[in-house]
Chains A and B, each alone.
Chain A
């Protein structure tokens, strides 16, 4: 409310030229590019934490009850907490802040051609609340009984009663952290949508908006439509934990499955919330590196909106064996299988975009292609799970784990690497080393498949997820199964070992890389029409827009690109 007039409130001229302290500059900036970097670095840091957790519990799985180097002996409670927080961190503190908040903040004002978000101070507040949420999450690991271990889905009664969770404060802090994170994204999302709606450069019509912006905006709207019921559920769960209410306690007239409905009503749209930005990045990248128009721009847009709507009617596919009415299971099977149609269509559109183009296999393009290939596997296996008959067998096996890693890894990791390698020159005004990035790409992609392909086989053999030590289950610890677990863990070690290649390259190039020109990829969208890195205020003068974002290889022009702001 304090923001009375969006564009004059942040008054960038007022503090662009006098010296700011280091702290003011890096922690109290209202510049969208700085806030983007805050989100990016916080997200990367938490990504390292999430990766470390995965390392620890995968080691326990491959070599049960041997001390894990860098951690020690893993107890059952440790294991549960590590798995729970690995999932929660990767989704809420890595995928969301990096894909939506970091890229959304960086790209939206630049791509729609304005100087900053409409409400810069609300934007700053968004990051501060996000940081607080991460601190609360970290605090939850250090309370009596340790961190919360009731799975990232936090089903009651395990999450509701201290006598089951064995950590009286862990679940409450964990929930508080998640709720704070939602508030941060609510504030951020309001800014994204309002900015894309009201601050576009003159001349930029709805169908001139780059896909990446559309996707982030639609994702924000999906988030805001779905998060409310979960926050309501979080309030109820927190009361059950700390005040002794009985919302989810059947003894007192409550209903434990109620939580599952509230959670998945949010949870399923949430997967599209993170998917859409990644799809947007891929659209930008494949058009630039194929020198072609995006095939069927409007179809992509309408499909995305349709998918978003449909994603609110599939949630119970997570509950096929939770005791829901079988007639309801039928309905949700149908909607779930339906939703793979627009997803498949999107993949075809991207392939059609590349068809006949002059493709250059630069690093961002490699990542974008890998996204399509790997995500396709994730989507296809979702259809098996969507058929309720098959899912009764597959539910809670490693098949599900493999399925969603084939969706989330392309989104959160491949999508991020695609976006970072593509926009790095704009963000930091320098180039990364291509050769190192190519090695990093191939090792990461190969080892990723090595980790998760065996899990499909294990899951089909009935391997149950969330088991701390399989030696107690003879039929699940046959030698071939254990061998597959060891193989997957070794592949994880290889993947983790390859990541410093990128990180060192990233931080080294930030300061020492080859200087980047304004538009190194010869792209059309507005962010490439201002200096690299963009100064405070981005454009001078502010751009005007004459055409859509994907006019590549237009006939009758000497250049094969045609910037959106070029009058001729």
Chain B
């Protein structure tokens, strides 16, 4: 053990491997993924235990697979726009403003469609209470919608700071990560609930 007595010139500290804001967001997103994983597996479990031909229950209206598919494409495109914004910001933060605006517009369109679809389905008598299926539909799609709304708010805030040139790279990274999460989560929900 005597050799451990020598002085070791250890202390050096580089920059963190992952910026703290991004790291924190990774953890948050992970917890949120598990939240939706809970819904998705609950949906699968209840569906699997239902008698043959009873899931979704025969009385429930058919869900608009194609229209929602269109909204899905819009949301995915907004993810691509944010990805492009991050790439463009590497040369100058100002370049990111326009793609962020495009992403916001696409996401607002997605949310608008969702509201329209909820109103239409409620109109034909498909509600939270009509069956476990109705409950899952509104809760899961609604929970994603609330996430999308918060993402829109955060992105709008970030866009303002990007325009002013004051957004830190770490915070920008965290915002983009949250956006990807909201965008990529949707196909999983679409595949579970609509198909």
A interface residues (Cβ-Cβ under 8 A, vs B)? 1, 3-6, 118-119, 186, 189-191, 193-194, 197-198, 201-203, 221, 224-233, 235-236, 239, 243-247, 249, 252-255, 258, 261-262, 265, 544-547, 551, 554-557, 567-568
Contacts and interface: CB of A to CB of B under 8 A. Distances in A.
A380 to B, nearest CB: 32
**Residue from B27, B133, B175 with most neighbouring chain A CB atoms (10 Å):** B27
A6 B46 contact: no
B38 A232 contact: yes
Interface string B28-58: 1011111111110110011001100011010
Interface stretch (B2-10, B61-69, B72-80): B2-10
A233 B38 contact: yes
A236 B139 CA distance: 8
A546 B10 contact: yes
Given A119-B20, A555-B2, A262 B131 contact: no
Interface in B120-134: 128-129, 131-134
A253 B139 contact: no
Contacts of A255: 45-46, 49, 132
A194 B170 CA distance: 13
Given A5-B168, A190-B28, A239-B128, A246 B135 contact: yes
Contacts of B21: 1, 3-4, 6
Contacts of A557: 5
Interface of B: 1-2, 4-5, 7-8, 10-13, 16, 18, 20-21, 23-24, 27-28, 30-39, 41-42, 45-46, 49-50, 54-55, 57, 128-129, 131-136, 139, 143, 154, 157, 168, 170-171, 174-175
B31 A245 contact: no
10 contacts: A1-B174, A4-B168, A202-B11, A227-B34, A229-B42, A232-B42, A239-B128, A245-B128, A255-B132, A568-B7
A246 B132 contact: yes
B33 A228 contact: yes
Contacts of A235: 139, 143
A551 to B, nearest CB: 8
A102 B41 CA distance: 34
Given A245-B132, A556-B5, A1 B154 contact: yes
A228 B24 contact: no
Contacts, number: 159
A194 B27 contact: yes
Contacts of A249: 132
A326 B135 CA distance: 30
A193 B27 contact: yes
A229 B35 contact: yes
B31 A186 contact: yes
B123 to A, nearest CB: 19
A261 B174 CA distance: 32
B1 A554 contact: yes
A194 B35 contact: no
A228 B132 contact: no
A202 B11 CA distance: 5
Nearest to A261: B45
Contact of B23 (A186, A194, A252): A194
Contact of B37 (A228, A551, A555): A228
A262 B132 CA distance: 16
B137 to A, nearest CB: 11
Contact of A229 (B27, B37, B128, B132): B37
Contacts of A243: 128-129
Contacts of A254: 46, 132, 135
A189 B175 contact: no
B12 A225 contact: no
A253 B55 contact: yes
Nearest to A235: B139
Contacts of B45: 255, 258, 261
Nearest to A255: B46
From A1, A261, A551, name the one whose CB has the most chain B CB atoms within 10 angstroms. Answer: A1
A242 to B, nearest CB: 11
Nearest 3 A/B pairs, CB to CB:
A228-B34, A229-B38, A232-B38
A107 to B, nearest CB: 19
B150 to A, nearest CB: 10
Contacts of A546: 7-8, 10-11
Given A202-B12, A254-B46, A247 B136 contact: yes
A418 B62 CA distance: 60
A228 B31 contact: yes
Nearest to B5: A556
A121 to B, nearest CB: 12
Contacts of B42: 229, 232-233, 236, 247, 258, 262
Given A203-B10, A224-B30, A231 B23 contact: no
Contact of A197 (B10, B23, B57, B157): B23
A327 to B, nearest CB: 15
Contacts of B38: 228-233, 262, 265
Contacts of B13: 201-203
A554 B35 CA distance: 48
* Most A CB within 10 A of own CB, among B4, B12, B23, B49: B4
A232 B2 contact: no
Contacts of A224: 27, 30-31, 34
Contact of A225 (B30, B57, B133, B143): B30
